[in-house]
Structure 1
C-alpha cells in the first residue's frame, strides 16, 4: 500500500513539473547546437551516464552523432568533444571563451562563492590569483626556500621504509606513503604542520584536518545530482551538509591563519602571505589565503583518488 502511494505521488509530481520544464526549455533553447540524442523530460540525458566509466557511453554516442555532440544534463547543457583538432581549437583559439568553470554547489560553499583559483570566473580577479600562485607560492625562488622541508620529509619516508624491512623483506604500499609525503610537504610549507602518516596522532588537530579533507574530497567532482536537478535540494539535505562542512573547514583554516599571525613572523607560506597582506590587504585577504590552502590540498587528493579509479576499456 505504501509503495503504491509513493509511486502515484511521484507520478503526480512528474506531471505537475513537466509543463514548467517544457516552458523552461522553450525559453532557453539554444540555436545551432551540435547533434544530440533523444532526451527524457527533466533529467535530459543523465540516464545515459549512470554506469561508469563515462568514456564508454561517450564513445558510443560519438560513433552515432559525430566527434562533437551536445547533452542535456538536467538543467545544464554540456558539449562533448572527441576530435583532437577541435580540442586543440578549443584550448588555443577559443581558450578565453571556454575558460570559465560551471558554478557548482561545491564551489559556491567550499570555494568561497566561486572565488578560488580553480572556480573563479576568468577576469581581473582570477588573473590576480594566478599571479599570486605563480610568483608568491610556486616560483622557483619561493620553493627553494623550503628545500629543507622536502629533504626532511624524504628522510622520514626512507627511515620508515628501512624500519619496515629491518629484519626481513617486507611488502609496503608506496602509493599511500607518497601521498602522505606530498600532503605533508604542502602543509609544512604552508603552516609548518604534519598531519598525515602512521606516526601522526589519531586525535586532535591532525585527525580533524584529515577528516575535513576526506569529506571535501568525497563531495568534490561533478557527480552531485543536486547540481543538475535543483529540485533535489528541496527533497534532500546535500546543500545543508555542504554548508556545515564549510563552517567546520573555514573555522579550522582561520585558526591556522590566526596562529601564524600571532607568531609574529616566520618562514611559512602563510607568514609570507600575511606579510603581503599588510601592504596589499585587498589582494591578500584571509579568505584568499584559506582558498589557496583548500585548493592545494584538495586538488592533489582528488588527483590521487581519480588515478586509483581509472579503468581500462
Structure 2
C-alpha cells in the first residue's frame, strides 16, 4: 500500500488516537505534540499517518524496570505494542468486557499500550478489593504532570491516605468548610455572586 493511500474502515485509526491521547494526558506527556499532530488527520487518515501511529507506539512500550514484579491476574492473549486493545474494539466497550469475563473469568489483567488495567466483574471480588483492601487501592500513584507541576504528594488532593491526609482533611474541614468558617465568609460569597451576575448581565 502506498503511503498516501486512504485507510479503510477496518483500520482502528480513531481508537488508536484516543488511546494515545489518554497516554499523553495521564502517563506520557512527552508524546503530546506527536499525538496532536496525528489527530488532525482523523477525518482522512492515510497509510503514512497509520505508520506514524505505529512508530509512536514504540515509545509507549513497557519499561524494562517495571514495578509490576508481583503475580498478575489471568490475562487473555495480547499483541505486541497495543496489548489487548484489539479485544475491545469489536463491539461496545461494556459488551467487550462482558465477553472477556465470560471467557476468561471475573478477575482479569489487561494492557492497552503501556496502561495496565484490572478488570473485575464479580461483586464478591469487588467487595474484597474496595472494602478489605481499600487502603491499598485508594492511592494510584502520581501522574508525571502532578509530580512536576503540583508539588507531588505534598498537596492535599493528591496525597496518599495516611496521617498527613487525615491532618489536612481535619484542618480544611474545621477552618475552611466548617459551619463557622462558612458563616464568616457569607458576606464575601454574597458579593462575589452579585459581581458574577452583574458581569453576566453586562455580556
When normalised by structure 2's length, the TM-score is: 0.55
Q: Residue 27 of structure 1: CA displacement?
A: 6.1
Q: 1:64 to 1:2 in 2, by over 3 A?
A: closer
Q: Alignment partner for residue 100 of structure 1, among 126, 129, 139?
A: 139
Secondary structure of 1:63's match?
Answer: helix
Q: Residue 2 of structure 1: CA displacement?
A: 5.4
Cα distance in 2, alignment partners of residues 196 and 62 from structure 1: 54
Q: Is the Cα contact below 8 Å between 1:101 and 1:119 reproduced in 2?
A: no
Q: 1:203 to 1:126 in 2, by over 3 A?
A: farther
Aligned twin of 1:130: 169
Q: Does 1:6 align with 2:48?
A: yes
Cα distance in 2, alignment partners of residues 53 and 196 from structure 1: 46
Q: Alignment partner for residue 84 of structure 1, among 114, 119, 123?
A: 123
Secondary structure of 2:110's match?
Answer: strand
Q: Alignment partner for residue 112 of structure 2, among 61, 68, 73?
A: 73
Aligned twin of 2:199: 201
Q: Deviations over 1:156-185 (max 9, x none)?
A: xxxxxxxxxxxxxxxxxxxxxxxxxxxxxx
Gap runs ≥5 in structure 2: 6-46
Q: Is the Cα contact below 8 Å between 2:61 and 2:114 reproduced in 1?
A: no
Bigger Cα displacement from structure 2, 91-100 vs 46-55? 46-55
Aligned-residue Cα RMSD (Å) equals 4.5
Q: Residue 100 of structure 1: CA displacement?
A: 0.4
Cα distance in 2, alignment partners of residues 55 and 14 from structure 1: 28
Cα distance in 2, alignment partners of residues 49 and 10 from structure 1: 22
Q: Residue 78 of structure 1: CA displacement?
A: 2.0
Q: Deviations over 1:108-139 (max 9, x none)?
A: 46644354433222333322322223333333
Secondary structure of 1:92's match?
Answer: helix
Q: How does 1:115-154 map to 2 (within 5 A)?
A: 115-143=154-182, 145=183
Secondary structure of 2:169's match?
Answer: helix
Q: 1:68 to 1:27 in 2, by over 3 A?
A: same
Q: Residue 63 of structure 1: CA displacement?
A: 1.8
Q: Is the Cα contact below 8 Å between 2:120 and 2:126 reproduced in 1?
A: yes
Q: 1:102 to 1:121 in 2, by over 3 A?
A: same
Q: Does 1:113 align with 2:152?
A: yes
Cα distance in 1, alignment partners of residues 116 and 195 from structure 2: 40
